[in-house]
Amino acid sequence: MSRRPYRSRKNRRLAMIAGGLAFLGIAAALVFTAFEDSVVFFFSPTDLTAKEIGPDRRVRVGGLVEKGSVTQGPGDGETRFLVTDGNTTMQVRFVGVLPDLFREGQGVVAQGRLTGGAFEADEVLAKHDETYMPPEVADALKKQGHWQPDGTGPADKGSGS
């Protein structure tokens, strides 16, 4: 094959474009199949209860950790707490070490599956910055009419990180 003359410039360009398109096609196929399985929707407890989502789908639920609801156990390393958006509360069960910014009365996002009315979280996110809610939690609270811009965040902190 090494005896074949060099391809002309135009052919080479066409070949490169065809190659590029083929790659894009493969990438697009990968992207679409991956999206099918891995996009995780966010719900407030109210929406999640209304939607009747099966235990086979991973979802996120967010709201405030209800004051006084955090209990440890009974299982080893297990924590249970209630997430509320003001209208609906939902029980969340999590095994693991909670993030440093997890606190009662503050915003939280739990990721996991809904099994029989309780939420089995495999990840609990209290995002890094303490000065504001995770935006999705703030929106969920607003939607339920329970948003108090000053009452929900720690009042003693100014701007910045």
Partner 1 sequence: MIAELGHLALWVALTVAVLQAVVPLWGVARGDAGLTGFARPAALVQFGAVALAFGALTHAYLVSDFSLVNVASNSHSTKPFIYKLAGVWGNHEGSMLLWVLILSLFGAAVAAFGGNLPDGLRARTLAVQAMIGVGFLAFILFASSPFERISPAPIDGNGLNPLLQDIGLALHPPMLYLGYVGFSTTFSFAVAALLEGRVDPAWARWVRPWALAAWTMLTAGIALGSGWAYYELGWGGWWFWDPVENASFMPWLAGTALLHSAIVVEKRGALKSWTILLALIAFSFSLLGTFLVRSGVLTSVHAFAVDPERGMFILVLLTIAIGGSFLLYAWRAPSMEGGGMFRPISREGALVLNNLLLSTAAATVLIGTLYPLALETVTGEKVSVGKPYFEATFVPIMVPLVLALGVGPLLAWKRGDLAAALGRLWVAAMAAAGIGLSVLYLQGAPVGAVLGFALAAWLAVSVVTEWADRIQLFRVSPKRSLSRALGLPRSAYGMSLAHLGLAVFIMGAVGETFFSAETVQFARAGDRIEIAGRTLTFEGVGQRQGPNYQSEVGSFVLPSGERLESERRFFPVEGQRTTEAAIRSRPDADLYAVLGEPAGENRWTVRIYVKPLVMWLWGGCGLMVLGGLLSLADRRLRVGAPGPRRASWRPAHAGFGDAD
Q: Looking at 49-57, 83-91, 126-134, 144-152, which segment touches partner 1 (CB under 8 A)?
A: 126-134
CB proximity list for 113: less than 8 A, separation 6 or greater: 55, 56, 57, 58, 59, 119, 120, 122
Q: Is 130 in the site for partner 1 (CB under 8 A)?
A: yes
d(CA 41, CA 87): 20
Q: Name the phi and psi angles at 90, rounded to 5.
A: -135, 135
Q: Is 100 in the site for partner 1 (CB under 8 A)?
A: yes
d(CA 18, CA 41): 36
Binds partner 1 (CB under 8 A): choice among 17, 34, 50, 118: 34
Q: Residue 98 carries which DSSP code?
A: P
d(CA 139, CA 60): 14
Token output for 63: 């709201």
Length of the chain: 161
Q: Is 154 in the site for partner 1 (CB under 8 A)?
A: yes
Task: Tell me whether residue 73 or residue 151 sits nearer to partner 1 (CB atom).
Answer: 73
Which residues in the 52-81 window bind partner 1 by CB under 8 A? 60, 72-73, 76-77, 79
Task: Tell me whether residue 132 or residue 147 sits nearer to partner 1 (CB atom).
Answer: 132
Number of neighbouring beta carbons within 10 Å of residue 79: 19
State the number of binding residues for partner 1 (CB under 8 A): 55
Q: Is 3 in the site for partner 1 (CB under 8 A)?
A: no
Q: Is 95 in the site for partner 1 (CB under 8 A)?
A: yes
Contacts to partner 1 by CB under 8 A: 2, 6-7, 9, 12-13, 15-16, 19-20, 23-24, 26-27, 30-31, 33-35, 37-42, 60, 72-73, 76-77, 79, 95-101, 111, 127-130, 132, 134-136, 139, 154, 156-161
